[in-house]
Amino acid sequence: MADSDAGIWKLRWDTAVAEGAGYLLVAVVCLASELLIWGLSRTLAAAGLEFFSTIVGMALVFALSTACWVVWKRTDDFYRRWLKARVDFINAHLGAGFAIPMIMLDQDEMLNGGEIGRVIGSFIATNIVSWVAVFLLSVATIGAVTKLTSQSPPREGSVSSEKSVAPSSSDDGSSSAEFEDNGQTQQATGSRDGLLLSIPRASDAEKQEGSAPAQGPLNLGEQAEAPRAYVDESSTWSFFSRHFPILLSLALVFTVGIPLTITIHEERLFDGFTLWFIWISSVRAQRAFKHSQMCTFSAPLKRALATLMNPVLLTTLLMTGYTRAKASVLGPGGLARTLQTFSGGTHLYALWTAAVSGDEIPSNPTGWFGAGDAALSILECGILAWGFKLSECRRQIFSLTGLVAILLCTAAAATNVFLSVLASRAMGLHVTEALSFAARSTTLALAKPATEAIGGNSPVNAMLVVSNGILGQLVYPFILDKLGVSKEGDGDDETGIAESQQTVTTNESTSVEAPSSSNTSPSTNTYMPNSWHQSTSSTDSPVTVAAGIAIGINGAAMGVSYLYETRSRAAPYAALSMMVFGVMTVVFTTVEPFKGTLISLASR
């Protein structure tokens, strides 16, 4: 009994250490991302293009990771083992930043009833036309390209269908499933928001010598030499393990946030812990509902309700209620003060630059950095980290299909900038509101400078961008399944972190992960849940590619995030399309003669 108790407590300790190390690595990745964005912003400042730093950073990460793979193939192994789970984790939770622009909308910036109606009408009209036109044009174009390039038979060992096995790009020919799970395996406590730090096993060295078959990865809690597996049957420990992000954030609200707000009027931690609590609770609530027995009598109803429980939508609504309730306590002028405390509206790289140079930021002279700004910084880090996700499917990007996607996105950007503004003016919108539609579906990092360059209404544009993304996330589950857009595997919809196939799960108990007993290599009937498989572009149907292009153009960052979370094969095309479409939108709204022509058309 004593030996069993010691083993269980060692398992708990190792799991806690692994979780903590995983979160520490996430913090390191975020810090490195922000430093890279800062360096790029200083480089681009001479041309007045600081706002491009995040997108340029994503392209730079993609180029560097691809170049490293070309020079040394085993960099893939390093990425899978140490970085992939952290990148997926950031992507899974960057959605909290999408809610900030909607939360920051002040009543003084709102339009009247008639203007709101016209904006909604233009929003619906431009979205219907853009989604349908882009998708159909992409399907037709990609389909024609596929027919032209499908004359030669597929190479032996290549992926010949979307349901076949995807080969790994590793030099040693190891199973791609092993690396997919390595560093991402979650304990059976149900805490799928955590990150476990993986370490090499004794069998890894044996495998390199060819003396042992490929086996599943092990967590820090596993002892490779000991055959005994300790099972933690404590319901209390299991409960705290499953819900520790929610419990910790709630505890910090009352033990740190509220006391500091009352004693020294420091509200940022209170806002930050509240935002964290609402976001993680929304994520967990949607996931719990999906896996519950509620509404099982009607699958369509359950699916609709689960979709409406979108974490971005819930966080936007609840945080809007939180800020308005907090403002009501402060009395007159409370809303303006609450919003200013929540977000200073300045990028972190701009604050760092101002601190180093000693200059003052006109829009934020005090250099305030609130909880909302922290959420937007995580969003920036997530977008930059998509460079790794693009590199995971580099062969899809560096293909004729990828080139066609770039051309389609360039044409779509020009069409959207001019026609959306003309259509909005035709529906009776004022010039500034109509110009806001020029960047109606560009990622937030580019939409704001593009709108300001042509004199558009920035709050309206922010509302359009975020509403576009939320609407897209609500309809994606229905539309993508109807279209038959393929996925990489059965990844988790909320965290984007693959669940281990080797983890032993027994109801509420926690157990040590056991090695796989299978000694066979992946069969041709199994599709590997690994997006780092270097599949050829011929594996993706025109519908899958077209869906990625349409979502990247119209859904922007929120659409790309959703596709990565659901492990869709359309995700790399969406990320590429979002980047190209955003860059070209900025070009058409800031560079002459396009800028002058656009303003002239809107002023008629």
**What are the tens digits of pLDDT across the range 432-451?**
999 999 998 888 878 888 89
Assign 190 a pLDDT band (cuts: 50, 70, 90): very low
- Is pLDDT of 107 > 70? no
Assign 515 a pLDDT band (cuts: 50, 70, 90): very low
- Is pLDDT of 210 > 80? no
Q: Is 515 exposed, middle or buried (0-12, 13-18, 19+ CB in 10 A)?
A: middle
* Cα 179 to Cα 287: distance, rounded to the nearest angstrom: 25
- Is pLDDT of 211 > 70? no
Name which residue leads in pLDDT, 81 or 508. 81
Q: Is 47 exposed, middle or buried (0-12, 13-18, 19+ CB in 10 A)?
A: exposed
Mean pLDDT of the chain: 78
- Mean pLDDT score, 209-236: 48
- Is pLDDT of 223 > 90? no
- Is pLDDT of 230 > 80? no
- Is pLDDT of 495 > 90? no
Assign 41 a pLDDT band (cuts: 50, 70, 90): very high
The first and second tokens of residue 258, run together, are 């509220």
- Is pLDDT of 116 > 90? no
The 10s digit of each residue's pLDDT in 372-393 is 999 999 999 999 998 998 888 8
For 305, the 3-state DSSP assignment is helix
Name which residue leads in pLDDT, 513 or 599. 599
For 509, the 3-state DSSP assignment is strand
Q: In this structure, what are the phi and psi dihedrals at residue 536, rounded to the nearest 5 degrees? A: -80, 160
* Cα 180 to Cα 147: distance, rounded to the nearest angstrom: 33
Q: What is the pLDDT of residue 208?
A: 42
Assign 169 a pLDDT band (cuts: 50, 70, 90): very low
Residue labelled with tokens 């709050």: 459
- Mean pLDDT score, 119-128: 89
For 136, the 3-state DSSP assignment is helix
Q: What is the pLDDT of residue 164?
A: 35
Assign 285 a pLDDT band (cuts: 50, 70, 90): very high
- Is pLDDT of 43 > 90? yes
Lowest mean pLDDT among 30-34, 285-289, 498-502: 498-502
Query: Is the Cα torsion angle 361, 387, 582, 593 positive or negative in sign?
Result: positive
C-alpha neighbours within 13 Å on the C-beta side of residue 222: 25
Q: What is the pLDDT of residue 317?
A: 93
- Mean pLDDT score, 173-178: 34
Q: What DSSP line would sit under 63-77, residue for residue?
A: HHHHHHHHH-TTHHH
- Is pLDDT of 517 > 70? no
- CA distances from residue 444 to 297, 403, 458 in whole angstroms, order as listed: 40, 25, 11
Q: What is the pLDDT of residue 36?
A: 96
The first and second tokens of residue 357, run together, are 């140079």
Q: What is the pLDDT of residue 239?
A: 83
Q: What DSSP line would sit under 347-404, residue for residue?
A: -HHHHHHHHHH---BTTBTT----HHHHHHHHHHHHHHHHHHHHHHTHHHHSSHHHHH
Q: What is the pLDDT of residue 518?
A: 36
Lowest mean pLDDT among 66-80, 153-167, 475-489, 586-600: 153-167
- Is pLDDT of 215 > 80? no
Q: In this structure, what are the phi and psi dihedrals at residue 487, rounded to the nearest 5 degrees? A: -120, 165
The first and second tokens of residue 162, run together, are 């979307």
Those residues whose C-beta lies under 8 Å from the C-beta of residue 568, and which sit 6 or more positions away, are 480, 485, 486, 487, 488, 544, 548
Give the number of other CB atoms < 10 A from CB of residue 507. 8
Answer yes or no: are the C-beta atoms of 523 and 53 closer than 8 Å: no
* Cα 307 to Cα 352: distance, rounded to the nearest angstrom: 39
Write down the H helix ranges in 209-267: 235-252, 258-264
- CA distances from residue 191 to 48, 85, 141 in whole angstroms, order as listed: 44, 14, 44
Q: In this structure, what are the phi and psi dihedrals at residue 153, rounded to the nearest 5 degrees? A: -70, 150
Lowest mean pLDDT among 153-162, 169-178, 311-320, 397-406: 169-178
Q: What is the pLDDT of residue 9?
A: 81
* Cα 578 to Cα 580: distance, rounded to the nearest angstrom: 6
The first and second tokens of residue 446, run together, are 């580019």
Residue labelled with tokens 């912003």: 41
Whose CA is closest to 216, among 498, 22, 578? 498
Q: In this structure, what are the phi and psi dihedrals at residue 365, rounded to the nearest 5 degrees? A: -65, -30
Q: What is the pLDDT of residue 264?
A: 93
Name which residue leads in pLDDT, 210 or 441. 441
Assign 117 a pLDDT band (cuts: 50, 70, 90): confident
- Mean pLDDT score, 472-500: 64
Lowest mean pLDDT among 122-131, 421-430, 534-543, 560-569: 534-543
Q: What is the pLDDT of residue 228?
A: 54
Whose CA is closest to 82, among 189, 195, 167? 195
- Mean pLDDT score, 121-144: 91
The first and second tokens of residue 476, run together, are 């994606």
Which residue type, as a one-letter code, is found at position 200?
A: P
Q: What is the pLDDT of residue 170?
A: 36
Those residues whose C-beta lies under 8 Å from the C-beta of residue 362, and which sit 6 or more positions away, are none
Assign 428 a pLDDT band (cuts: 50, 70, 90): confident
- Mean pLDDT score, 188-217: 43
